[in-house]
């Protein structure tokens, strides 16, 4: 995808001119910016290069020519080529360079920074009903009707593309494409009034991996993976009936904003999602005129000025675009959350009140609970017990030095002579859950039980297996192993079967925090609570591509119009669609106001009236798991108060994060005056809907801190809010004033939160987190902010 050239009389004149310019350009005054490691000087990798675009010499007809001349001046072999140019959410270009090239390029006067590319990974219904968004329900008129189901709002989905012929993306009954839309669809891609944009970016992918395989990838925005089709339909799929996956989860499928338009930006390919392509997608999406960007992709957390997604999202939010991103699937471990920039709405995953039970019945009559979505030609005979073997044992083929790989049912690890005709118990880990079933099937096994590792706990994900299979928790995995071992000690054959019980609704408790959902604390800025909130992300039914079967395996010949997937990838587009509904109902709300409405109205109690549980342990979950809580669409429509933020607030935050002016200029296109910002407070003094304090115990017995929040009235013109304080255990919390009296909509009033703590016994390098809440109410609205206090003992 090359830029258009301007002012080029002839090809020969163009080459001569650019060669001449590149020689002159290489002699221009330079200033050192970076020094790159001396190792691997000849190894190429992709860099994203930030440029001071204002200083382009007028002799270059376009920025592309200028950037290419910068690369030509390197005189390296092979010649370097611009992969992408960026001019909306970022100014600069990307290119493959050696470290030696990067060192030289960084010294050119117009180069601000070189950011090494990250390779990101995907964070891979009944949910509208669970969220109260069924059009037949009495309370939906407040959100779906007032927002006209999201009509004329555009959601940009940055993912693996889309299957455009799916009935979820029909445009029947939709008005004309909004006149504000500046994007386009290629002439050979079947867009309509629902899918109004379809672009794909592969230059970063191919720079690292070579030419893509046309037999496995579509060289277009068409989805060969299924993930992008799934997430797009969660955000904005039309109503489709009947909908199911292999007979499971039968009903009506619909997205959060059924009339919203979709713009698709395909950046994820077989080997991952590359930063240079993601940045180009952001650039194009904002330029095209999207209202919301949905990104179910993540990677390693780095400082914001080195994070391409954080940089792109900042400029998008500055343009009024709401950006939601998945929190990641690294749970239940702490500090696993990703996409943590405070201008991004970070979404974790919870369950809904539906599951797919598939129990293991052991030969001793014990029934062990599990979950699965299986239907295929190779079903188990009802009532028959089959020989049962643990893949990691000698009897399962795990002898001969292959015990570990066999226990995980890795490819080629199972001995067919040991598993043929048997149900095989496999341990979770390394390869995908469904791939283990394929390994069992190829070795002649008739079924599989997939047991969680200790780290996974009791969290279960229902998969569309290619062999009769079910997933069980870590504790139940131990029960089955003991049963097998006890029988073998008595020289008895262990036997079992799997009973598939279909779809169960009305599950209690629900929601629970999904075991895989990434957790806080925020590894980059502990004073900003992340994730922000959770939304449905466990066993979600949504649209699917016709390119692959529901398991996602190449060998799966089944085809399904819908599929059931789990991940924060599925939670993120729920919030993206809800943001579109809120934006349609409140066009004047900023991205920060929308996030505030979603967070301050979120709930933390399940359908049994108790604090939401952590699926991995069964214990109560905490703010580090669910942030502000589970999204509540109806209440978010009318939150009463919001905590708004501007670009200048975020710049002050960066200043208080001790970023240099140069660091900040890579993120924000405005000059930062950090002297004034640092006088305004500390890093946690951002007008965020949650409030967090971190106290480092440097020998002090008593410590205190404070934060200022600014509440904007979006409820009733004449309203009085009174505060209720739920202090974290062992803290003294005050709020001044204790009453906020508003006289008009849009009025802003300040309040100060002061927290006093006493040191507690902690071992070196450890921490302790406690939480409470600040709750404002006028009798009609309840505006809740999590209040988090973390005590740290330095090393």
pLDDT of res. 214: 84
Kindly report, residue by residue over 500-533, the tens digit of the pLDDT.
999 999 999 999 999 999 999 999 999 999 999 9
In this model, does residue 636 exceed pLDDT 70? yes
Range from 86-90, 135-139, 248-252, 423-427 carrying the lowest mean pLDDT: 135-139
In this model, does residue 55 exceed pLDDT 90? yes
φ, ψ at 16 (rounded to 5°):
-65, -45
pLDDT of res. 78: 83
In percent, the amount of the chain with pLDDT more than 90 equals 82
Contacts of 112 (CB under 8 A, 6+ apart): 33, 50, 51, 52, 92, 662, 665, 666
- Comparing CA positions, the residue from 469, 438, 464 lying closest to residue 558 is 464
pLDDT of res. 396: 59
pLDDT of res. 390: 95
For the segment 412-426, the average pLDDT, to the nearest whole number, is 94
Q: Would you call 242 helix, strand, or coil by DSSP?
A: strand
Contacts of 260 (CB under 8 A, 6+ apart): 149, 150, 151, 153, 154, 155, 235, 236, 577, 580, 581, 584
pLDDT of res. 8: 30
pLDDT-based confidence at residue 122 (cuts at 50, 70, 90)? confident
For the segment 225-238, the average pLDDT, to the nearest whole number, is 96
pLDDT of res. 669: 80
| Spatial separation of the C-alpha atoms in residues 258 and 39, rounded to whole Å | 52
Burial class (CB in 10 A: 0-12, 13-18, 19+), 764: exposed
pLDDT of res. 27: 33
For the entire predicted model, the pTM comes to 0.91
pLDDT of res. 681: 75
pLDDT-based confidence at residue 123 (cuts at 50, 70, 90)? confident
pLDDT of res. 399: 44
pLDDT of res. 672: 81
Q: Would you call 218 helix, strand, or coil by DSSP?
A: coil
Kindly report, residue by residue over 1-13, the tens digit of the pLDDT.
333 322 233 333 3
pLDDT of res. 136: 47
Biggest CA-to-CA distance, the chain:
89
Structure-block tokens of residue 699: 């020998």
Range from 34-48, 529-543, 620-634 carrying the lowest mean pLDDT: 34-48
pLDDT of res. 57: 94
**Better-scored residue on pLDDT, 669 or 654:** 654
- In order of 222, 223, 386, 465, the CA distances from 556 in angstroms are 20, 17, 24, 9
pLDDT of res. 75: 77
- In order of 184, 197, 763, the CA distances from 181 in angstroms are 8, 9, 57
In this model, does residue 737 exceed pLDDT 80? yes
| Spatial separation of the C-alpha atoms in residues 216 and 377, rounded to whole Å | 26
Range from 142-151, 302-311, 317-326, 453-462 carrying the lowest mean pLDDT: 142-151
In this model, does residue 658 exceed pLDDT 70? yes
Q: Would you call 278 helix, strand, or coil by DSSP?
A: helix
| Spatial separation of the C-alpha atoms in residues 123 and 346, rounded to whole Å | 12
| Spatial separation of the C-alpha atoms in residues 595 and 627, rounded to whole Å | 12
For the segment 207-211, the average pLDDT, to the nearest whole number, is 93
Kindly report, residue by residue over 592-609, the tens digit of the pLDDT.
999 999 999 999 999 999
In percent, the amount of the chain with pLDDT more than 70 equals 90
Active site positions, annotated: 159, 227, 569
Q: Where are the alpha helices (DSSP H) in 10-77?
A: 11-26, 63-72
For the segment 653-676, the average pLDDT, to the nearest whole number, is 88
In this model, does residue 487 exceed pLDDT 60? yes
For the segment 241-256, the average pLDDT, to the nearest whole number, is 93
Provide the mean pLDDT of the chain: 90
pLDDT of res. 21: 39
pLDDT of res. 142: 53
């Amino acid at each position: 995808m090359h830029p258009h050239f301007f002012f080029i009389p002839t090809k020969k004149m163009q080459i001569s001119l650019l060669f001449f310019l590149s020689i002159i350009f290489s002699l221009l005054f330079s200033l050192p910016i970076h020094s790159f490691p001396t190792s691997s000087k000849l190894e190429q990798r992709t860099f994203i290069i930030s440029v001071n675009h204002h200083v382009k010499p007028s002799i270059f007809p376009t920025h592309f020519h200028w950037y290419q001349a910068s690369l030509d001046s390197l005189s390296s072999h092979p010649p370097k080529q611009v992969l992408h140019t960026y001019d909306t959410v970022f100014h600069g270009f990307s290119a493959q360079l050696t470290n030696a090239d990067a060192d030289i390029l960084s010294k050119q006067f117009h180069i601000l920074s070189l950011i090494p590319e990250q390779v990101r990974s995907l964070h891979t219904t009944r949910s509208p009903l669970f969220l109260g968004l069924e059009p037949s329900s009495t309370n939906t008129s407040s959100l779906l009707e007032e927002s006209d189901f999201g009509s004329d709002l555009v959601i940009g989905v940055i993912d693996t593309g889309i299957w455009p012929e799916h009935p979820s993306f029909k445009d029947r009954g939709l008005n004309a494409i909004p006149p504000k839309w500046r994007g386009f669809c290629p002439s050979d891609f079947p867009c309509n009034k629902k899918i109004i944009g379809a672009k794909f970016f592969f230059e970063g992918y191919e720079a690292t991996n070579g030419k893509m395989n046309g037999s496995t990838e579509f060289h277009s925005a068409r989805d060969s993976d299924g993930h992008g089709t799934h997430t797009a339909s969660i955000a904005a799929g039309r109503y489709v009936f009947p909908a199911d996956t292999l007979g499971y989860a039968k009903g009506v499928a619909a997205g959060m904003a059924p009339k919203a338009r979709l713009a698709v930006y395909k950046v994820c390919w077989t080997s991952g999602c590359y930063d240079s392509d993601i940045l180009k997608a952001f650039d194009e999406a904002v330029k095209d005129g999207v209202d919301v960007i949905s990104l179910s992709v993540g990677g390693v957390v780095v400082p914001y000025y080195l994070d391409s997604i954080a940089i792109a999202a900042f400029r998008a939010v500055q343009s009024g675009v709401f950006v939601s991103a998945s929190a990641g699937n690294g749970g239940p471990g702490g500090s696993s959350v990703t996409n943590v920039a405070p201008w991004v709405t970070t979404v974790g995953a919870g369950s809904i009140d539906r599951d797919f039970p598939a129990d293991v019945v052991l030969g001793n009559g014990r029934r062990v609970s599990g979950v699965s979505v299986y239907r295929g030609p190779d079903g188990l005979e009802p009532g028959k017990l089959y020989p049962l073997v643990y893949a990691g044992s000698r009897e399962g083929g795990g002898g001969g030095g292959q015990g570990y790989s066999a226990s995980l049912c890795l490819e080629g690890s199972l001995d067919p002579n040991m598993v043929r005709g048997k149900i095989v118990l496999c341990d979770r880990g390394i390869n995908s859950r469904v791939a283990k079933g394929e390994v069992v099937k190829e070795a002649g096994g008739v079924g599989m039980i997939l047991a969680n590792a200790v780290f996974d706990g009791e969290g279960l994900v229902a998969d569309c297996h290619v062999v009769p299979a079910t997933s069980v928790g870590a504790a139940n995995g131990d029960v089955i192993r003991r049963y097998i071992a006890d029988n073998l000690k008595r020289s008895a054959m262990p036997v079992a079967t799997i009973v598939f019980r279909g779809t169960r609704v009305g599950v209690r408790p629900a929601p629970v925090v999904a075991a895989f959902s990434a957790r806080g604390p925020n590894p980059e800025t502990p004073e900003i609570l992340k994730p922000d909130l959770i939304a449905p992300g466990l066993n979600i039914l949504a649209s699917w591509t016709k390119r692959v079967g529901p398991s996602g395996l190449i060998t799966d010949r089944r085809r399904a119009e819908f599929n059931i997937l789990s991940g924060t990838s599925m939670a993120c587009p729920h919030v993206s669609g809800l943001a579109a509904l809120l934006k349609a109902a409140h066009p004047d709300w900023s991205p920060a106001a929308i996030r505030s409405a979603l967070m301050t109205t979120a709930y933390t109690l399940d359908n049994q009236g108790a604090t939401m549980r952590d699926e991995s342990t069964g214990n109560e979950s905490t703010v580090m798991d669910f942030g502000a809580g589970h999204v509540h669409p109806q209440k978010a429509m009318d939150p009463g108060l919001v905590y708004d933020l501007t670009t200048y607030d975020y710049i002050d935050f960066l200043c208080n994060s001790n970023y240099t002016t140069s660091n900040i200029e890579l993120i924000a296109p405005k000059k930062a005056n950090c002297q004034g910002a640092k006088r305004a407070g500390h890093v946690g003094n951002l007008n965020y809907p949650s409030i967090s304090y971190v106290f480092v115990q440097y020998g002090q017995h008593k410590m205190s801190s404070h934060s200022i929040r600014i509440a904007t009235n979006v409820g009733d013109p004449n309203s009085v809010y009174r505060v209720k304080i739920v202090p974290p255990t062992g803290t003294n919390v005050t709020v001044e004033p204790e009453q906020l009296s508003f006289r008009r909509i849009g009025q802003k009033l300040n309040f100060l939160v002061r927290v006093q703590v006493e040191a507690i016994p902690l071992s070196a390098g450890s921490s302790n987190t406690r939480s409470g809440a600040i709750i404002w109410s006028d009798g009609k609205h309840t505006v809740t902010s999590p209040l988090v206090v973390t005590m740290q003992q330095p090393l």
